[in-house]
Structure 1
Amino acid sequence: MKKFEAKTLEEVYELASNEFSCSIIDLEIEIIQQPSKGFLGFGKKTAIVTAQVKRRQRRDNKKYKDTRYKKSNINIEDVSEKIANTKTQVKKQTVQNTTKVPSVEGKEKIFDNFYTENNQKEEIAKIVIKKDRNEIISEVKKDINKLFQNTCYEIDEIEVDFYDDDTLYVEFNGKDSALLIGKEGYRYKALSYILFNWINEKYGFMLRLEVAEFLKNQEEAIYNYLIPVIETINETGTYKTKPLDGILVHIALKRLREEFPNKYVAVKTNVRGDKYVLVNEYRSN
């Protein structure tokens, strides 16, 4: 009995199979620890099992080793005759198959049916079942609170509402809500990414996530920074912001695009990988 450890059960099974040089179905396996991804990086566990070859399989392997070198009476002439007969049968079968090729008319009908079925599937895929706004809010609120109810954090009931016609607003508050995103909000982006992928894929909406007023404070800070920036742009017509991290660059981008709808406003990356917002006239940069 040997012990194996890996990130997933699939990987640990493969390790055991390679170690004993046999199929996984030929092993007796006992799972010591189930793998777990944890929550936001906490409580992560690997898969641990113990394994050994089944007794019956060991006997079969031993029997195979004892008999694999025994010679049997083989008549070379009989073998040659069987090979020749097999080749003849293959040729006959090939000729029969080539005579059954559909006519041009038959093939055209097949293609017509194929494209007709595809067009029908595409039309069905275009049908979108739109839910009532209140129904969407109720459903998202129920699911998101269920997702976070068993965490170790003490948070209030998560609020869900529409921010605008295309965006859902999700707000976390409570004693430990700030701990969800960590110091200086370094986990905010990860949490936002997880919730956005779920909401956008299932309901087709964008996401505005607020956690313990983190987004509000970030917006106030960047708006204060942009006051002299906007004045400079009005005077010179162009500006490049300082390097901005995480959500700040997106807040700055949105604010400057609102302020200068007729200018070129875009996120750029410098040689160090830092992101900044460039405001310019519509010309090559």
Structure 2
Amino acid sequence: MIKIESATLEGAYKDAASTLDCSVTQLKIEVVQYPSSGFLGLFKKSAIIVAIKEADSESSAKEEKTTEAYKSEKLSDEKQKTQEAKKAKSQKQKKEEKKSNKAEVKKETIKEETHKHTILNDTIMPQSFVSTQDEEDEEDDDITSYLADYDDEFDNPDSEDLKSTAEIAKIVQEDINKLFSFICFDIDNIEVSVYDENTLLIEFKGEDAALLIGKEGYRYKALSYMIFNWINTKYQLQLRLEIAEFLKNQEESVSRYLSGVKESVDRDGRAQTKVLDGVLVQIALRELREIYPDKYVAIRSTRDGLKYIIINDYHSN
């Protein structure tokens, strides 16, 4: 497996093929970073890929197929696709009919019930648009599975003292470095330290550390979920994961954005954030609850499952 960096994806493919002494069609490629021309010459990004040569047996087997066998296979595939398309269309029609019936029933139910609304930022929103307090509590529990460092204080009567936590940090550091010694990315020795008596701080640094974050932070979320479940299950500790200052930058970005939200709260007594994704919603939730301990600060979900935060007086819920 090799890592290639070039100005364009095409150039990266060619360099990979040249390095592995094969054609591009024989490569199995994962795009780590797409190229970007930036803006006015700034923030320009090059293409980065990770490539590996596929087994020669697979390519030779493909070449041995006769023309007639290929045509037969192609016809069979087209026939199968046609059948699948018809089946999918039929299922879609059934779902639409079922959805339409549910919508009619729901409309009638709404007419019979007393209309209740929640007022947020001078905008009247149906109560069905946001989750209930119980649902919000359940959502908080779900998010803790990979964003534990933003939970409320961990209360465990059997918690280890600071000295024991420090000893655990050394064990975790040794184990996690063994685990990540097999990856192809160039990263420094992973540092594990005590963040507080119930939390370990794990830091990834190095030339390729930023590649572990992934597009829109998807690799960061996966690593955070995996590592948290390990140390929480084995040592009953929480996790604060920092990769190439990703968490620090996210916290700073959220703080800048929340300055406008605070102005709305100070002026109107209530506000709501924009839709926030992943780690951002927990960072914002923690900061807002610290600023407004006497207000109702909670996560809400849209019908599409997107999350945002409301700040309100308790009597207004």
TM-score class, shorter-chain normalisation, is 0.5 to 0.7
Deviation (angstroms), 1:181: 2.1
Q: Which moved more, 1:271-280 or 1:129-138?
A: 129-138
Structure 1: how far apart are the matches of 2:293 and 2:160? 34
Alignment-derived partner of residue 267 in structure 1:
299
Paired residue for 2:289?
257
1:234 aligns with 2:266: yes
Amino acid at match of 2:193: D
For residues 208-223 of structure 1, the aligned pairs below 5 Å read 208-223=240-255
Q: CA deviation at 1:222?
A: 0.6
Identity percentage over the alignment?
56
Deviations 1:76-123 (A, max 9, x none): xxxxxxxxxxxxxxxxxxxxxxxxxxxxxxxxxxxxxxxxxxxxxxxx
Q: Aligned pair count?
A: 162
Output aligned runs, 1:15-164, within 5 Å: 132-164=164-196
Give 1:4's aligned residue. Answer: none
1:283 counterpart SS class: helix
> 2:304 matched to 1:243?
no
* Counterpart AA for 2:213: I
In structure 2, do the counterparts of structure 1 residues 137 and 237 end up closer, same or farther at CA, with 3 Å as the change threshold? same
Tell me the distance in 1 between the aligned counterparts of 2:281 and 2:160: 35
Letter of the 2:229 counterpart? N
Distance in 1 separating the partners of 2:166 and 2:199: 14
Q: Give ranges in structure 2 of 5+ residues lacking alignment.
A: 1-50, 53-156
Verify the 8 A CA contact 2:203 2:242 in the aligned structure 1: yes
Match of 2:206 in 1: 174
Counterpart Cα distance in 1 of 2:315 and 2:183: 51
Larger relative contact order (Cα-Cα within 8 Å, sequence gap ≥ 6): 2
Spell out structure 1 runs of 4+ moving beyond 3 A: 126-131
**CA distance change for structure 1 residues 168 and 128 in 2, over 3 Å: closer, same or farther?**
closer
Matched, 1:197 2:229: yes
SS in 2 for 1:187: helix
| Structure-2 separation of matches of 1:202 and 1:253 | 28
1:206 to 230, 238, 244: 238
Aligned counterpart, 1:25:
none
- Partner-residue secondary structure (3-state), 1:161: strand
Cα distance change of structure 1 residues 282 and 129 upon mapping to structure 2, 3 Å threshold = closer
Q: Distance in 1 between matches of 2:193 and 2:227?
A: 14
| Aligned-pair CA distance for 1:203 | 1.2
- The 3 A distance-change label for structure 1 pair 185 and 244 is same
1: CA distance between counterparts of 2:202 and 2:261?
30
Three-state SS of the structure 2 residue aligned to 1:186 is helix
1:278 aligned residue: 310
Aligned-partner Cα distance in 1 for 2:308–2:159? 38
Deviation at 1:127, TM superposition (A): 7.4
SS of 1:268's equivalent?
strand
Q: Alpha-carbon deviations, 1:126-180, whole Å to 9, x = none? A: 9787672331111010011111011111110001111122211101001111111
TM-score w.r.t. length of structure 2: 0.48
Which segments of 5 or more consecutive residues in structure 1 lack a partner in the other structure? 1-41, 44-125
> Match of 1:160, as an amino acid?
V
Secondary structure of the 2:315 match is: coil
Number of the residue aligned with 1:224:
256
SS at match of 1:151: coil
Q: Give 3-state SS (helix, strand or coil) of 1:210's partner.
A: strand
Q: Considering only aligned residues, what root-mean-square deviation do their CA atoms show, in Å?
A: 2.1
Q: In structure 2, what is the Cα distance between the partners aligned to 1:225 and 1:244?
A: 11
Give the C-alpha shift of residue 186 in structure 1: 2.0
Deviation per CA, 1:246-281, whole angstroms, max 9, x where unpaired? 110000000100100111111110122110011111
